[in-house]
Amino acid sequence: MTDSKEVGRSSGHRDMESCRDMRKLVDTALGKQAADLVIQNGTLMDVYTGRMLPNRSVAVTGEWIAYVGPDAKHTIGPETRVIDAGPYVICPGFIDAHTHLINYFNIPEFLSETRRHGRSVQGHAAGAFDQKLAAYAATGVESCHEAISTRDVLNRLEMGLYAMIREGDIRRDLEIILPLKGEIDFRRLILVTDGTNPGLLMQNGYLKDVVQKAIDLGIDPMDAIRMVSLNPAEHTGLDTLTGGIAPGRHADLLFLPDLWTIDPQWVISRGQVVVENGKTVVSMPQARYPERLMNTVRAAAISPADLAVSESLAGSEGMVRTLDIQPGGLVAREGKARPKVLSGGLTADPDNDLLKIMFMERISGRADRFIGFIRGWGQKRGAVATTLCWDAGGIVGIGENDQDLASAVNRVIEMQGGSVVFVDGDLKAEISLRAGGYVSELAMPELADRLDGFQRTMTSLGSPLDFAHLSLSVLTTPAIPFIRMTEKGYHRFRENDTVGIGGI
């Protein structure tokens, strides 16, 4: 009889297992072969049983854990590195379980093939409950990261889903699980960032800041760390390879000062010591992107005349449909406003927080575009443009005058990807995003500085948004309701239609 679990394992899972030399691990565990690394005398956080185990040792061979127990002396040879972890709590490395797919696919076919190959399926169920949430769960999706209330969390758990709780740039929802302490099992809760910006990453670290906040809010440290280790590993079907400290798992370990302080003093990644006594001791690899990703902005330069909007497109009484950014800078709703009219064309009215917004497709070379109007952006002068458009290969630009808007769009075309701000013909801020128009080649400190400068510039121009670059980038994503930009017009997700500025 075929073992269905083996059939269900993903190719990625099998590839990871193929790198694991079982014979070496067995021989090391039995003392027949020396370990490469032995950690002694630490207090082990056992996420499997929920206990703290004092005076434990871990023996590592290559990238993998071979032995966990009270004494690993039998695995020590003349070349074995031995680390005394006596002062520390040893916990598993952290996993951020949420990411994004950018692709064009047939959804039912994609889900079916994903399940057939043993992959876990994540998704968005923003605002869904009862019948719609049940239908969502019935597709085979296994998790949702769109819970924004305690009730949302329970609804998802009751449907058999993993509930991912966001604590990052996009939303900070960690507090919504606090009323559930002592009421439910946290084993199907996962903490995720849903993304973080380079500035906050350098200032606060990555998931360690999220876990620290959870503990500071009163969540048990075992639960907090499980939510970024064993829980996501089980959700993704990788728990036989990672997520805890046990033989046959990846040697990804953190040494913490104590159970309540998430400040790793030692970091071991894939069996290699990368942080020692709080200092990084290895050089970080530099990313090299293929040339085909470096020239993805296939659009000709535009002129201010290309941004003209005829007065005839307005609806009754000169009203136009608008995209209205809501407080927080992410959600957008449909609105209406009356633009100024100049020489037969509709223009921005920054005094009344009404600006032009443009989206132009940049992948095919057709450069199809739509020009609409936006409120809630707040910019009083100049224009901004970016190629970092979530879930869309395009350029989005916002401006109070057509000259600066054209200049901003043309600059990101010239750069082959990036974000810029123009005011009165002068370039005020610039971030290079050459790789696919999404990813910067800049070193993290410089990228963080550029993003900070971008935000300072936008604030000086009147924008009320806390992270204007993020707010600009999400204007195209279908993951956030309720109306978004496309090259064909505004797309309304509840109505499932695409509309222009008129007809209201």
Q: What is the DSSP string of 302-367?
A: --GGGG--BGGGS-GGG-EEEEEEPTTSS-EEEEEE--EEETTEEE-BGGGTEEEEEEEE-SSS--
Q: What percent of the chain has pLDDT over 90?
A: 70
Nearest Cα neighbor of 396 from 381, 412, 415 is 412
CB proximity list for 195: less than 8 A, separation 6 or greater: 168, 169, 170
Rounded Cα distance, 420 and 490, in Å: 23
Residue 379: DSSP 8-state: -
Rounded Cα distance, 281 and 265, in Å: 12
User: Is 258's pLDDT higher than 80?
Assistant: yes
Residue 7, pLDDT score: 32
- Pairing status of strand 89-92 against strand 253-256: antiparallel
Rounded Cα distance, 176 and 158, in Å: 16
Mean pLDDT for 28-39 is: 98
Rounded Cα distance, 13 and 118, in Å: 9
Residue 112, pLDDT score: 56
User: Is 161's pLDDT higher than 80?
Assistant: yes
**Other residues' Cβ atoms within 10 Å of the Cβ of residue 465:** 21
Confidence category of residue 203, pLDDT binned at 50, 70, 90 = confident
Nearest Cα neighbor of 62 from 14, 13, 19 is 19
Give the model confidence (pLDDT) of 272-315 as tens digits.
999 999 999 998 777 788 999 999 999 999 999 999 999 999 98
pTM, two decimals, is 0.81
DSSP secondary structure of 231-245? HHHHHTT-TTTSSSS
Mean pLDDT for 7-13 is: 45
Long-range contacts of 258-261 (CB under 8 A, 24+ apart): 258/89, 259/45, 259/52, 259/89, 259/221, 260/215, 260/221, 261/212
Give the model confidence (pLDDT) of 321-380 as tens digits.
999 999 989 999 999 999 999 999 999 999 999 999 999 999 999 999 999 999 999 999
Alpha-carbon distances of 237 from 9, 14, 41, 248, 364, rounded to whole Å: 8, 11, 31, 15, 37
Confidence category of residue 140, pLDDT binned at 50, 70, 90 = confident
Mean pLDDT for 399-407 is: 98
Question: Over the chain, what is the mean pLDDT?
Answer: 89
Higher pLDDT, 404 or 152: 404
Q: In this structure, which CATH number among 3.40.1190.20, 3.20.20.140, 3.40.50.970, 3.40.50.1010 belongs to the domain 107-243?
A: 3.20.20.140
Residue 298, pLDDT score: 96
Residue 475: DSSP 8-state: G
Confidence category of residue 133, pLDDT binned at 50, 70, 90 = low
| Residues of each domain in the chain carrying CATH 3.20.20.140 | 107-243
Q: H helices within 19-106, ranges in order?
A: 22-29
User: Is 493's pLDDT higher than 60?
Assistant: yes
Residue 263, pLDDT score: 96
Sign of torsion, CA 342 347 350 352?
positive
User: Is 1's pLDDT higher than 60?
Assistant: no
Backbone angles phi, psi at 407, to 5 degrees: -60, -40
Residue 363, pLDDT score: 94
Alpha-carbon distances of 469 from 143, 170, 214, 439, 484, rounded to whole Å: 28, 12, 27, 14, 16
- Pairing status of strand 162-166 against strand 143-144: parallel
Q: Half-sphere exposure of 70 toward its Cβ, with a 13 Å CA cutoff?
A: 0
The neighbouring-strand residues paired with 275 are 267, 280
For tokens 């559930």, name the residue.
180
Q: Hey, what's the torsion of the CAs at 6, 11, 15, 21, to 10 degrees?
A: 10
Nearest Cα neighbor of 146 from 125, 168, 170 is 125
Mean pLDDT for 27-53 is: 98
User: Is 201's pLDDT higher than 80?
Assistant: no
**Other residues' Cβ atoms within 10 Å of the Cβ of residue 345:** 17
Rounded Cα distance, 256 and 93, in Å: 11
Residue 116, pLDDT score: 56
Lookup: tokens for 239: 């728990």
Do 485 and 391 meet the contact criterion of CB atoms below 8 Å apart?
no
**Other residues' Cβ atoms within 10 Å of the Cβ of residue 193:** 21
Confidence category of residue 97, pLDDT binned at 50, 70, 90 = confident
The neighbouring-strand residues paired with 358 are 371, 397
Confidence category of residue 4, pLDDT binned at 50, 70, 90 = very low
User: Is 105's pLDDT higher than 70?
Assistant: no
Confidence category of residue 125, pLDDT binned at 50, 70, 90 = low
Rounded Cα distance, 427 and 363, in Å: 25
